[in-house]
């Protein structure tokens, strides 16, 4: 059965909920086929393993992720893989930063996902292609 957009959005929603609720590095790693995967932030080339990603998100509270348009491109049938490209509105508050302390950003997401033998989706590749900060946003340092 081909991977659907609804499945990708569900996987992404569970991922974002895990991240913003303080999910540990081990909990985050469960979303990846390779638990030692890295999240790539373009164009800087900065990468984060799950522990570094977990530590990064500990500084923020009141995170919000809202999906915008996403497109799927089937890549292969065995294993079943798709490329998902789209944008997410991301907001997070840094309580230890002087105001403005709320990051407001449109984030480019570029994912490759694979359906495992169990039927679950897993990230193969996870890239943030851009972080466009909105005019009233706090600064963001990655």
Cβ–Cβ under 8 Å, residues 113 and 119: no
Helices 5-20/50-58 angle, 10° precision: 60
- Give me the domain span that covers residue 118: 5-133
**CA–CA separation, 77 and 44 (whole Å):** 32
Is residue 138 situated within a structural domain? no
Output the CA torsion sign for 100, 19, 141, 89.
negative
Instruction: Quote the number of domains for the chain.
Output: 1
Q: Domain of 80: which CATH number?
A: 3.10.450.50
Residue at 141 is within a domain: no
**Domain for residue 115, yes or no?**
yes
Answer yes or no: is 60 within a domain.
Answer: yes
pTM score > 0.85 for this model? Answer: yes
Residue 1 predicted with pLDDT over 90: no
What are the tens digits of pLDDT across the range 8-21? 999 999 999 999 99
Q: Residue 109's closest CA among 61, 67, 56, 46?
A: 67
Buried/exposed code over 101-113 (b: 16+ C-beta within 10 A; e: otherwise)? bbbbbebebbbbb
Tell me, yes or no, whether 140 lies in a domain.
Answer: no
46 part of a folded domain = yes
Q: pLDDT per residue over 44-102, tens digit each?
A: 889 999 999 999 999 999 999 999 999 999 999 999 999 999 999 999 999 999 999 99
pLDDT of residue 142: 81
């Amino acid at each position: 059965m081909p991977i659907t957009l609804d499945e990708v959005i569900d996987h992404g929603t569970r991922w974002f909920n895990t991240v913003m609720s303080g999910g540990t590095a081990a909990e985050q790693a469960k979303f990846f086929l390779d638990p030692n995967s890295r999240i790539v932030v373009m164009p800087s080339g900065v990468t984060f393993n799950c522990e570094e990603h977990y530590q990064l998100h500990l500084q923020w509270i009141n995170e919000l992720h809202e999906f915008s348009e996403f497109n799927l491109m089937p890549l292969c049938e065995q294993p079943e893989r798709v490329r998902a490209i789209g944008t997410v509105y991301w907001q997070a508050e840094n309580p230890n930063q002087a105001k403005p302390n709320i990051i407001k950003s449109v984030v480019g997401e570029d994912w490759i996902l694979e359906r495992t033998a169990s039927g679950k989706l897993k990230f193969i590749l996870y890239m943030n292609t851009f972080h466009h900060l909105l005019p009233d946003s706090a600064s963001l340092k990655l």
